Amino acid sequence: MNSIQTINKIIVSTMAGWLFPFWMMASDVKIDTGYPGGNIIVEKRDGDTFFIKPELRDTRGWWFYWNFRVTGAAGRTLTFCFTNQNPIGVRGPAMSTDCGIKWRWMGAGAVRQVSGQKAWEFSHKFTDDQEVRFSYEIPYLEADFNRFLERYRGNNAVMIEELCKTDKGRKVEYLRLGKLTGDPKYRVLLTARHHACESVPSYTLEGVMEEILADSADGKVWREQVEVMIIPFVDKDGVEEGDQGKNRQPHDHNRDYNEKSIHAEVTAIMEKVPVWGKGKLMFAMDMHCPYIRGDYNEHIYFVGGSDSVIWERVMDFSSMLEAGITGSLPYRASGNLPFGKGWNTGGNYKQGKNCASWMREIPGIRFASGIEIPYANTQGAEVNAATARAFGHDLARTILKYITAEKR
């Protein structure tokens, strides 16, 4: 983020809460969002308690992503209080003390509801002047992606190309991995971050890529038979600027697969993928995180469409995945969400067609579905960078087994 973007973010925060800049000048304690992924509004301060809320920007209704940093608080215990609705997840806030490179959950016990109020808060004792970041989730940004790719610099089985430029001039990258010379037998498409705040699939994609590029028997098959296209940040502007992304007005990126798209990234995907697929694109999956907590939001599940034939294939794949879990995040095929159940009804798509629905219409496609991977908790297991990557390994092994099976 350049200096102009940082100044703009401070201006936005100032407009949202007019007291915010005075606290920054009058106190040694500073709360800000002037970095990639930052998001918070400080409404007021009472001593060492800050009253805050997520910055919704162009979001329709309420959503729960937030990410802020604190500096100048050495030796003090500060409390951060959210009012009206609770945007803190089931494992409490995520916290980083190394400028957002590594994160850990503070734990559900760190969160308390204010007695007699519709307000939730957490506290932290600052031991030195080092900055501390707090977030609803474990974030994943372009910088994280670039650090991951450094491991594969010069690898001839991975190529980074430009899909398009965002409305704000950022590069939207896509990767091709596996068999990049000659004609592959199969093609696979994986997309993520249609909703900017949904970061866990980015770590899962790292696991998928590690498996494809591994010095292993499966890695050899990937590189001899399969070409994979990965689009890691569909809403690149939203990811870097710390937007919710979900329910963006007039509609978000995942309701934009219509005859005429309003988002440049979606237009580019719809134009490029069918040409690249060349009739060999067999498997396509769009990756998301569900709602903040409860019911379908604390286990991994595939989302069904109205095409019963493809849904039967998704369930076949799901059974294979369940049998192939090797100690990563738990998964049960029985937890999938078929079309017509829960939130997955026609009414949920009134704003426009989503990516998975568009994928199901690609000529020759066999498997096309969305997958939801929780932010923090899956059937009691902790979701973090390591467990999400491990699930990506299991997912990749199952994809390879599925597409190369003689009988499907």
Burial degree of 115 (CB within 10 A; 0-12, 13-18, 19+):
exposed
Amino acid at residue number 103? W
d(CA 166, CA 182): 31
Least confident piece of the model among 26-35, 299-308, 332-341, 356-365: 26-35
pLDDT of 407 reads 53
Q: Which amino acid is at 314?
A: V
Summarize pLDDT for 341-391 with one digit per residue, the tens: 999 998 888 889 999 999 999 999 999 999 999 999 999 999 999 999 999
Residue with more model confidence, 335 or 6: 335
73, 134 Cβ separation under 8 angstroms = no
Identify the pLDDT of residue 4.
41
Is the pLDDT at 21 greater than 80, yes or no? Answer: no
**Residue located via tokens 């028997």:** 217
Domains and CATH numbers, the chain: 3-135 (2.60.40.3120), 142-404 (3.40.630.10)
Q: Look at residue 167 in the predicted model and tell me its pLDDT.
A: 95
* Per-residue pLDDT band at 14 (split at 50, 70, 90): very low
Contacts for 114 with CB less than 8 Å, ≥ 6 apart: 81, 120, 121
Task: Answer positive or negative: Cα dihedral of 259, 260, 261, 264.
Answer: positive
| Parallel/antiparallel/unpaired status of strands 301-303 and 158-165 | unpaired
* 189 close to 234: Cβ distance less than 8 angstroms: no
- Asked if pLDDT for residue 25 goes beyond 90, the answer is no
Tens digits of residue pLDDT in 322-332: 999 998 899 99
- Rounded to an integer, the average pLDDT of 66-91 is 96
Q: Report residue 40's pLDDT band, with 50, 70 and 90 as the boundaries.
A: very high
pLDDT reported for residue 5: 44
Query: Cβ distance 407 to 323 under 8 Å?
Result: no
CA distances from 205 to 172, 182, 227, 285 (A): 16, 25, 15, 11
The whole-chain average pLDDT of the chain stands at 93
Question: What is residue 295's predicted lDDT score, i.e. its pLDDT?
Answer: 80
Q: Work out the pLDDT band at 13, boundaries 50, 70, 90.
A: very low
- Mean pLDDT lowest among 1-5, 37-41, 57-61, 155-159: 1-5
Q: Which of 52-56, 238-242, 292-296 has the lowest mean pLDDT?
A: 292-296
**Which of 294-298, 303-307, 351-355 shows the lowest mean pLDDT across its residues?**
294-298
Band (64; pLDDT cuts 50, 70, 90): very high
Instruction: Identify the three-state secondary structure at position 162.
Output: strand
- How does residue 296 score in pLDDT terms, banded at 50, 70 and 90? confident
The answer to whether residue 17 scores a pLDDT higher than 60 is no
pLDDT at 406: 58
pLDDT surpassing 90 at residue 10: no
Q: Per-residue confidence at 285, pLDDT binned at 50, 70, 90? A: very high
The CA distance from 122 to 163, in Å, is: 41
